[in-house]
C-alpha cells in the first residue's frame, strides 16, 4: 500500500482557559497540534446489480462498512476491498422492509435502523437477517441520529410541545429508549444560541467514550456538551476558530430560497466521534452548488480536535471530503470522490504533534 502524507502541522502557542458563558469555557492544550495523513483508500466496486444511489449514513465495524442509501431504502455491506458483499432490506411496508432510512448504527453484531417512512425501528443482524421491528412508545420528533449502547438506543429528538421557533430552546435533545421502544430518559439542554436567535437548526449528534460519558454536538453551534453515564451534565466546551456562528434569526416561515441564502452564511455541525482520548468534531460550510446539485463534494468540511477533557488541540483542518466514520482503531474514513463507478473513500490517521 502506498502511503501518502497530507495536510497540516499546526501548534498552539500557549495554554489558556477562557469562559464563554456561565456554563461553557474554552481551553487550549499547550504546544500541541495535529497531523492528518493518508494511509490508503477504498474504491467502491459497483455494477448494474449492486450500486449506491447516495450515501446517507455510514458505520465501520468488524472490518466492514455499513452504508445506508438515501435513494434506495437499503443498507449495503462493503468489505475493505470495496466489494459490496450484501444488500440488506428492500422497499416496502412489510417485515424487514423500509421506505426511508433516516439513521443507522451497528453495535454488538446488530444493525439498528430508523425508517422514517414507516415510522419504526428495524433490527437486523450483520449477516442481513431481519430480527424485529418496533415503534417508539412516546411522541417525539427528530430521530435524525441514533447510537446503540448495550441494550439501549440513544436518539436525537425534539419534544413536540416545544416544536416552535419561540420555545425550541427549551426542548431536551437526547432520548434513551430500550429495544422495545419504551422511553427510559430524556436529557440534554439546547445551547444558548437557540435562545438568542430563532433558527431552523435543531439536530444533535453524539458519541461515547470508554467510560460511558456522552459528548453532544448541536447544529448551529461549535460547542460540545459532556454528560456522564447517568445523563448528568458535566461540562460544556468549545473553540470557535473557523466556525461561522449564527448571528441573526432564521425564521421558520421564510421561502426556501431565502432560508438557503441565510444558512449559507453559517457553519453547521456535521459529526462527532470519540476514539480513545480524542474527540473528532466535524463541521461544514455549505455551498449553493452542493445544495442545487445535491452533491456533498461542493461543500467544505473541517475537523476540530479536542482531548476528552475538552482541551482544544490546534486543528480546524480543511478536509479533502466528508468524514463518514472513524473506527475503533482511529482510522478516519473520508468520502473523497462521488462519481458513480469511481467512488473513493480515503483512509486517514491523525497524529498529535508536540513542539
State percent of the chain over pLDDT 70. Answer: 95
The radius of gyration computed from the CA coordinates of the chain, to the nearest angstrom, equals: 20
Residue 66: in which H helix or E strand, if any? strand 64-69
Residues whose CB is less than 8 angstroms from the CB of residue 258 and which lie 6 or more positions away in sequence, other chains included: none
pLDDT for the residue 16: 59
pLDDT for the residue 1: 38
- Output the CA–CA distances (angstroms, integers) from residue 323 to 188, 277, 294, in the order listed: 25, 19, 17
Cα distance between residue 75 and residue 83, in whole Å: 14
| pLDDT for residue 6 is more than 50 | no
- Kindly state the cell numbers that stand for 122: 428495524
Q: pLDDT tens across 104-158, in order?
A: 999 999 999 999 999 999 999 999 999 999 999 999 999 999 999 999 999 999 9
Cα distance between residue 286 and residue 302, in whole Å: 11
Nearest 5°: phi and psi at 108? 50, 40
Round the average pLDDT of the chain to a whole number and report it: 91
Q: pLDDT tens across 167-186, in order?
A: 999 999 999 999 999 999 99
Higher pLDDT, 201 or 97: 97
pTM: 0.93
pLDDT confidence band for 51 (50 / 70 / 90): confident
pLDDT confidence band for 199 (50 / 70 / 90): confident
Q: Are residues 145 and 203 in contact, defined by beta-carbon separation less than 8 angstroms?
A: yes
Cα distance between residue 228 and residue 214, in whole Å: 6
18-22, 222-226, 304-308 — which is least confidently predicted?
18-22
pLDDT for the residue 8: 33
Per DSSP, the residues of 275-304 read ETTEEEEEEEE--HHHHHHT-GGGSEEEEE
Amino acid at each position: 500500500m502506498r502511503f501518502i502524507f497530507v495536510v497540516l502541522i499546526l501548534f498552539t502557542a500557549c495554554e489558556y482557559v477562557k469562559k464563554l458563558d456561565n456554563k461553557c469555557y474554552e481551553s487550549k492544550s499547550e504546544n500541541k497540534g495535529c497531523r492528518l495523513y493518508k494511509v490508503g483508500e477504498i474504491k467502491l466496486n459497483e455494477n448494474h446489480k449492486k450500486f449506491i444511489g447516495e450515501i446517507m449514513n455510514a458505520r465501520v465495524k468488524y472490518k466492514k462498512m455499513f452504508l445506508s442509501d438515501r435513494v434506495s431504502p437499503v443498507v449495503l455491506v462493503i468489505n475493505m476491498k470495496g466489494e459490496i458483499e450484501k444488500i440488506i432490506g428492500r422497499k416496502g411496508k412489510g417485515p424487514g422492509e423500509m421506505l426511508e432510512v433516516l439513521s443507522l448504527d451497528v453495535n454488538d453484531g446488530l444493525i439498528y435502523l430508523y425508517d422514517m417512512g414507516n415510522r419504526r425501528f428495524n433490527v437486523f443482524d450483520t449477516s442481513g437477517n431481519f430480527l424485529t421491528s418496533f415503534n417508539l412508545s412516546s411522541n417525539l420528533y427528530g430521530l435524525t441520529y441514533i447510537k446503540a449502547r448495550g441494550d439501549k438506543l440513544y436518539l436525537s429528538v425534539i419534544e413536540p410541545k416545544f416544536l416552535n421557533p419561540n420555545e425550541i430552546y427549551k426542548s431536551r435533545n437526547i432520548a434513551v429508549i430500550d429495544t422495545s421502544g419504551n422511553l427510559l430518559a430524556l436529557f440534554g439542554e439546547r445551547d444558548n444560541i437557540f435562545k438568542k436567535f430563532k433558527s431552523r437548526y435543531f439536530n444533535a449528534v453524539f458519541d461515547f467514550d470508554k467510560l460511558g460519558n456522552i459528548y453532544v454536538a448541536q447544529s448551529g453551534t461549535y460547542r460540545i456538551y459532556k454528560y456522564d453515564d447517568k445523563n448528568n451534565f458535566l461540562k460544556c466546551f468549545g473553540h470557535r476558530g473557523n466556525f461561522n456562528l449564527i448571528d441573526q434569526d432564521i425564521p421558520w416561515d421564510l421561502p426556501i430560497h431565502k432560508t438557503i441564502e441565510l444558512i449559507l452564511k453559517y457553519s453547521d455541525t456535521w459529526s462527532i466521534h470519540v476514539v480513545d482520548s480524542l474527540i473528532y468534531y466535524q463541521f461544514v460550510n455549505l455551498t449553493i452548488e452542493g445544495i442545487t446539485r445535491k452533491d456533498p463534494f461542493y461543500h467544505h468540511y473541517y475537523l476540530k480536535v479536542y482531548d476528552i477533557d475538552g482541551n482544544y488541540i490546534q486543528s480546524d483542518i480543511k478536509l479533502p471530503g466528508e468524514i463518514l466514520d472513524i473506527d475503533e482503531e482511529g482510522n478516519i474514513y473520508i468520502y473523497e470522490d462521488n462519481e458513480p463507478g469511481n467512488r473513493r473513500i480515503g483512509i486517514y490517521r491523525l497524529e498529535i504533534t508536540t513542539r
